[in-house]
Amino acid sequence: MLTSKNSSTLHVNEHSRTQENKQAEPFFAWHWRIVQCVWVVLFLLFAIRVAAEDGEVERVAMSEDSVSVKNEVADSVLWAQPLPAMQPETNPTDTALHRQDYPRFDRSLTYVGLPLILAGVLGRGERHRVYYLHKEFVPEFKSSVDDYVQFAPFALATGLQVMGVRGKSSAVRYLASSAMSFAIMAAIVNTIKFTVNQMRPDNSTRNSFPSGHTATAFVAATILHKEYGLTVSPWYSFAGYGLATATGVMRMLNNRHWMSDVFCGAGIGIMSTELAYALSDLLFKKKGLVAPEKHNLVDLSTHPSFFSIRMSGILGQQRLRTPDSFKPTLGDVPFLMQFGTGAMVGVEAAYFFNPYIGVGTSWQLVGHHVKHLDKPFRRPSATANLPEGVTFDFLRTGLNELCSSLGLYLAWPFAPRMSLGGQFTVGRNIFKGISVRAMKEGTVKSGTPESYTDTQQKYTTEWDFLTIQGNKALRLGTGMSFTVAYKQAYSWRAFLNLNYSFNTFTLTLNPSEWKQHEFPDAKNLPNEVITERIKKKLLQLSVGTAFCISF
Contacts of 36 (CB under 8 A, 6+ apart): none
When pLDDT is cut at 50, 70 and 90, the band that residue 365 belongs to is confident
Taking residues 475-480, report their average pLDDT.
97
Report how far residue 413's alpha carbon sits from residue 415's, in angstroms, rounded to the nearest whole number.
Answer: 5
Are 250 and 265 in contact, with CB atoms under 8 Å apart?
Answer: no
- E strand or H helix at 105: helix 105-108
> Over 60: is that where the pLDDT of 72 sits?
no
> Over 90: is that where the pLDDT of 352 sits?
yes
When pLDDT is cut at 50, 70 and 90, the band that residue 494 belongs to is very high
> Over 70: is that where the pLDDT of 519 sits?
yes
* Confidence at residue 503, expressed as pLDDT on a 0 to 100 scale: 95
Taking residues 498-517, report their average pLDDT.
94
**Percent of the chain scored above 90 by pLDDT?**
53
Give 330's Cβ-side CA count (13 Å radius).
Answer: 27
Taking residues 35-57, report their average pLDDT.
45
When pLDDT is cut at 50, 70 and 90, the band that residue 132 belongs to is low
Q: Which residues, in sequence order, are bridge partners of residue 425?
A: 407, 477
Residue range 109-284, CATH number: 1.20.144
Taking residues 406-419, report their average pLDDT.
95
> Over 60: is that where the pLDDT of 290 sits?
yes
**β pairing state of 9-10 and 390-394:** parallel
* Confidence at residue 114, expressed as pLDDT on a 0 to 100 scale: 86
Taking residues 292-321, report their average pLDDT.
86
356-395 b/e (C-beta count within 10 Å ≥ 16 → b) = eebebbbebbbbbbbbebbbbbeebeeebebbeebbbbbb
Length of the chain: 551
Report how far residue 494's alpha carbon sits from residue 457's, in angstroms, rounded to the nearest whole number.
Answer: 63
DSSP state of 198: P
* Confidence at residue 167, expressed as pLDDT on a 0 to 100 scale: 92
* Confidence at residue 107, expressed as pLDDT on a 0 to 100 scale: 63
DSSP 62-102: PPTT-------STT-------HHHHS----TT-EEEEE--P
Taking residues 364-381, report their average pLDDT.
89
Highest mean pLDDT among 4-8, 63-67, 273-277: 273-277
CATH class held by domain 299-550: mainly beta
Domain boundaries of the chain, sorted by first residue: 109-284, 299-550
When pLDDT is cut at 50, 70 and 90, the band that residue 273 belongs to is very high
Least confident interval from 104-108, 518-522, 534-538: 104-108
Highest mean pLDDT among 71-85, 95-109, 253-267, 470-484: 470-484
**Percent of the chain scored above 70 by pLDDT?**
78
Taking residues 48-77, report their average pLDDT.
40
Cis-peptide into 210, omega within 30 deg? yes
Are 547 and 118 in contact, with CB atoms under 8 Å apart?
Answer: no
* Confidence at residue 112, expressed as pLDDT on a 0 to 100 scale: 86
Which ranges in 285-411 belong to alpha helices (H)?
Answer: 327-330, 375-378
Taking residues 414-443, report their average pLDDT.
94
> Over 90: is that where the pLDDT of 148 sits?
yes
* Confidence at residue 105, expressed as pLDDT on a 0 to 100 scale: 54
Degrees to nearest 5, angle at CA 128 with 126 and 130: 95
Least confident interval from 65-79, 447-461, 508-522: 65-79
Higher-confidence position of 412 and 130: 412
Highest mean pLDDT among 12-16, 196-200, 251-255, 422-426: 422-426
Contacts of 434 (CB under 8 A, 6+ apart): 337, 370, 373, 395, 396, 398, 399, 467, 468
When pLDDT is cut at 50, 70 and 90, the band that residue 104 belongs to is low
> Over 60: is that where the pLDDT of 23 sits?
no
* Confidence at residue 438, expressed as pLDDT on a 0 to 100 scale: 95
Which ranges in 385-424 belong to alpha helices (H)?
Answer: none
For the chain, give the mean pLDDT: 81
How many helices (H) does the chain have, and how many strands (E)?
Answer: 15, 16
